[in-house]
């Protein structure tokens, strides 16, 4: 019940950020993929079932807001949530490098899938590829720093069953 | 070892993901036929108070700076308005002599922009004014700089407008002073932009000229500023001009807008 409540709050926060500050930043070339970031973080913290559920719910809410192509965000985010949740079981170190790679992969998958719907003609591909590149270049480093800050402030680690890198045995 | 290779918990998760994926695909195939306006209305109502709180910080920071420049602008506009009033009187008299109908009068309803949606550029916006403020479906939305879009859905105290960048948008326009006509449409190639289409190669259009609504369709009244010509080339078929237009309304800095309400429609 506690997780479900937190899920709703996390979704609301992500959607709020997306529809206010981040859309305005996006038009100025700063593309922070908050949907992919939130899904990766949630899946890392709560595993594949909750990861997929979070991705699906967040994606569906984003789809309803966009009018066209309902289901495109929901599909890719639920799969990202599931995949990252599964990876969580195999990861052994809670390091910033791992966070960066996972956020980058999640962002790449989300952006490529979503923008594929916009790519009708090859002439538009360079712009879309630039957009994907920008999203990767912004989301991965900022997301990693954000996670590091959250970890430092809260004093906890994301993967409950592993040892953080700084505290691991030599 | 009953049933399958996966442990029960993993099997449940796999089934769950399968259900989500199937649902998403079903929505992708049939979503356009589902009436989602009601859900969006509920979402807008739910998020409006939160959007206001989030935006308050941004608005307060910008308010002081804007206030100073607005004072200066109001003074300049007062002077300009005096000249325009006199020109307006002259124009009415001349139109009466020529037996032309009067310009339609519009009332402005101020609206706060609560949220933007659309990727990679915003294509829709949610406003803080709705049915109870006199906003109707189809009303035109503008900013101080120019045309923003058209109201598509109206809820109690909120409304949602499709911006001029919406893929389904088509606006009858003309080039200021030359009267060259065309239809402004968004294009995603080679990058998201606005293009004035249907302009013959024989027409002369120059970079920097203003693009206004032509009033050729009943959707937008004549004379609203839409943008500025940013580039002129030939379309891919080589039959018409490909005129790139820079929107007058700054989509990256949307805070307030005005809904144009036709007063004649409101008369009983």
Under the banding of pLDDT at 50, 70 and 90, the label for residue A169 is very low
CA distance A170 to chain B (A): 33
Task: Answer whether residue A119 is part of any domain.
Answer: yes
Domain boundaries, chain B: 11-100, 107-166+253-262, 171-250
One-letter-per-residue 3-state SS of chain B: CCCCCCCHHHHHHHHHHHHHHHHHHHHHHHHHHCCCHHHHHHHHHHHHHHHHHHHHHHHHHHHHHHHHHHHHHHHHHHHHHHHHHHHHHHHHHHHHHCCCCCCCCEEEEEEEEEEEECCCCCCEEEECCCHHHCCCCCCEEECCCCEEEEEEEECCCCEEEEECCCCCCCEEEEECCCCCEEEEEEECCCCCEEEEEEEECCCCCCCCCEEEECCCCCCCCCCCEEEEEEEEEECCCCCEEEEEEEECCCHHHCCEEEEEEEHHHHCC
Q: Find the CATH number of the domain harbouring A135.
A: 1.10.1760
- Answer whether B224's CB lies under 8 Å from B210's CB: no
- The answer to whether residue A167 sits within a structural domain is no
- ipTM computed for the complex: 0.80
Q: Which tens digit of pLDDT belongs to each residue from B201-224? A: 888 888 999 999 988 877 888 888
Give the dihedral sign, CA B162/B166/B169/B174: positive
- Pick among 2.40.10.340, 1.10.8.620, 2.60.40.10, 3.40.30.10: CATH of B107-166+253-262: 2.40.10.340
Chain B residues 215-254 with CB within 8 Å of chain A: 251-254
Res B212: pLDDT: 92
Size of interface A-B (CB pairs under 8 A): 138
Residues in contact with B70: Cβ distance below 8 Å, sequence separation at least 6, in sequence order: none
Residues B91-129: tens digit of each pLDDT: 888 888 887 777 667 788 888 888 888 777 788 898 888
Asked if domains B107-166+253-262 and B171-250 share a fold, the reply is yes
pTM: 0.64
| pLDDT at B250 exceeding the cut of 60 | yes
Q: Which domain holds residue A38?
A: 2-154
Report yes or no on A162 lying in a domain.
no
- Using CB atoms, which residue from A17, A52, A75 is nearest to B16? A52
d(CA A151, CA A113): 30
* Average pLDDT of the residues in B56-68: 77
pLDDT at B2 (0 to 100) = 45
- Split into its structural domains, chain A has a count of 1
Pick among A51, A64, A67 to test the B interface (most B CBs inside 10 A): A67
| Domain B171-250: top CATH class | mainly beta
Task: State how far the Cα of B229 lies from the Cα of B84, in Å rounded to an integer.
Answer: 26
What value does the mean pLDDT of chain B take?
A: 83
pLDDT surpasses 60 at A167: no
Lowest mean pLDDT among A52-61, B57-66, B82-91: B57-66
In a domain, A39, yes or no: yes
pLDDT of residue B267: 47
Cβ–Cβ gap B21/A75 under 8 Å: yes
* Inter-chain CB proximity A24 and B254 less than 8 Å: yes
Asked if residue A60 is part of any domain, the answer here is yes
What is the pLDDT at residue A162? 54
Any A CB within 8 A of B185 CB: no
């Amino acid at each position: 019940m506690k997780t479900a409540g937190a899920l709703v709050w996390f979704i609301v926060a992500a959607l709020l950020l997306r529809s206010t500050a981040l859309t305005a930043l996006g038009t100025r070339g700063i593309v922070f993929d908050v949907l992919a970031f939130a899904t990766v973080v949630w899946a890392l913290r709560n595993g594949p079932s909750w990861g997929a559920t979070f991705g699906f719910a967040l994606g569906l809410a984003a789809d309803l807001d966009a009018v066209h192509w309902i289901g495109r965000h929901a599909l890719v985010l639920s799969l990202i949530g599931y995949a990252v949740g599964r990876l969580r079981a195999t990861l052994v170190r809670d390091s910033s490098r791992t966070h960066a790679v996972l956020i980058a992969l999640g962002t790449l998958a989300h952006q490529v899938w979503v923008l594929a719907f916009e790519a009708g003609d090859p002439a538009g591909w360079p712009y879309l590829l630039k957009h994907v590149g920008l999203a990767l270049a912004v989301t991965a480093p900022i997301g990693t720093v954000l996670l590091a800050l959250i970890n430092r402030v809260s004093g906890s680690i994301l993967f409950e069953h592993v040892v953080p890198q700084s505290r691991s045995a030599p | 070892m009953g049933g399958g290779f996966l442990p029960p918990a993993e099997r449940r998760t796999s089934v769950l993901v399968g259900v989500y994926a199937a649902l998403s695909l079903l929505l992708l195939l049939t979503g356009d036929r589902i009436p989602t306006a009601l859900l969006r209305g509920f979402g807008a109502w739910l998020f409006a108070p939160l959007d206001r709180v989030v935006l308050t910080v941004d608005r307060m920071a910008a308010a002081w700076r804007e206030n100073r420049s607005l004072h200066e602008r109001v003074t300049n506009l007062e002077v300009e308005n005096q000249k325009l009033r006199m020109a307006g009187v002259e124009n009415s008299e001349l139109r009466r002599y020529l037996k032309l109908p009067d310009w339609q009068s519009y009332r402005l309803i101020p609206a706060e922009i609560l949220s933007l949606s659309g990727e990679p550029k915003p294509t829709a916006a949610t406003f803080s004014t709705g049915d109870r403020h006199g906003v109707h479906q189809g009303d035109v939305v503008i900013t101080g700089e120019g045309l923003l879009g058209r109201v598509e859905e109206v809820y109690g105290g909120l409304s949602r407008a499709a911006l001029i960048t919406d893929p389904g948008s088509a606006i009858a326009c003309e080039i200021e002073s030359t009267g060259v006509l065309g239809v402004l449409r968004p294009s995603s190639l080679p990058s998201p932009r606005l293009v004035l289409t249907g302009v013959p190669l024989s027409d002369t259009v120059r970079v920097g000229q203003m693009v206004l609504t032509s009033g050729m369709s009943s959707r937008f009244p004549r004379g609203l500023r839409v943008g500025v010509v940013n580039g002129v080339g030939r379309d891919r078929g080589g039959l018409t001009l490909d005129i790139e237009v820079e929107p007058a309304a700054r989509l990256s800095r949307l805070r307030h807008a005005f809904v144009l309400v036709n007063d004649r429609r409101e008369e009983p």
